[in-house]
Amino acid sequence: MTATEQHIDETLIPILEQVSDPEIPVLSIMDMGVVRSAVIVNNSVKVEITPTYSGCPAMDVIGDDIKKVLKEAGYESQVDLILHPAWTTDWITPRGRKALEDYGIAAPLEAEADKDVLLHGKRIVKCTNCGSQNTRLVSQFGSTACKAQFQCEDCQEPFDYFKCLK
């Protein structure tokens, strides 16, 4: 398997789309890019997921939720955690990025821009409330390992930014 290739049986896609990240309920695990493969073998499904961050406590819940929805659809399943290739924010789909923004979490920038923001205080992260780029980094670590805290200097809204991970 190459770094970005996924193997997911088409019939399973609508089922797996019902599962969301428990910490970001608007984002399905499919849009998050954590499902790397899902194949049906003799009415049993083998799923491989990869963690966003090593310590992400959501992974256990996601694994259980996947088994639950597949069971409801009539499949027995096995869910394995794989580490290689490592997850990257590039795997979040365009629909996923939009869902993040609508939910109030700024979507990840490209690696270089991300560095400018987190290391050099450059103001380019767009406020999810008013769209202004006059935003300030409050903390490199936010409410979960994958996010940083920002505040908009125009509308004063505090918001999360999903850090670029490559």
Partner 1 sequence: MKNENLYNYILGIADNSLILGQRMGELCGHGPSLETDIACTNISLDLFGQVRSYFQYAGKIAGDGRTEDDIAMLRKEREYKNVLLVEQPNTNFAYTIGRQFLFDVYHLAFLAELQKSSDLTLSAIANKCIKEVSYHERFSSDWVKRLGDGTEESNQKMQDAINDLWTYTDELFHLTEADKATVAEGIGVDVTKLKDNYYKSVSNLLTEARLQTPESKWFQKGGKQGVHTEHLGYLLSDLQYMQRTYPNMEW
Binding site for partner 1 (CB under 8 A): 51, 53-57, 83-87, 118-119, 138-145, 149, 163, 165-166
Q: Shortest distance, CB of residue 114 to partner 1, whole angstroms?
A: 11
Question: Measured from the CB atom, is 135 or 144 closer to partner 1?
Answer: 144
Q: Is 74 exposed, middle or buried (CB count within 10 Å of its CB: 0-12, 13-18, 19+)?
A: exposed
Residue 107 C-beta: closest distance to partner 1, Å: 18
Asked if 102 contacts 26 with a C-beta cutoff of 8 angstroms, the reply is yes
Rounded CA separation 44/41 (Å): 5
Q: How far is the CB of 125 from partner 1 (least distance, A)?
A: 16
Looking at the Cβ atoms of 42 and 54, the one nearer to partner 1 is: 54
Nearer to partner 1, 43 or 120 (CB): 120
Min dist CB 46 to partner 1, Å, is: 19
Spatial contact of 50 and 36, defined as CB atoms under 8 Å apart: yes
What letter represents residue 16's amino acid? L
Question: Closest CB to partner 1 among 17 and 90?
Answer: 90
CB of 56 to partner 1, least distance (A): 7
Q: Name which of 39 and 86 has its Cβ closer to partner 1.
A: 86
Question: Using an 8 Å Cβ cutoff, are 150 and 138 in contact?
Answer: yes
Residues in Cβ contact with 7 at an 8 Å cutoff, skipping those fewer than 6 apart: 1, 36, 37, 38, 39
Q: Are 136 and 151 in contact (CB under 8 A)?
A: yes
Q: Whole-angstrom Cα distance, residue 90 to residue 108? A: 9
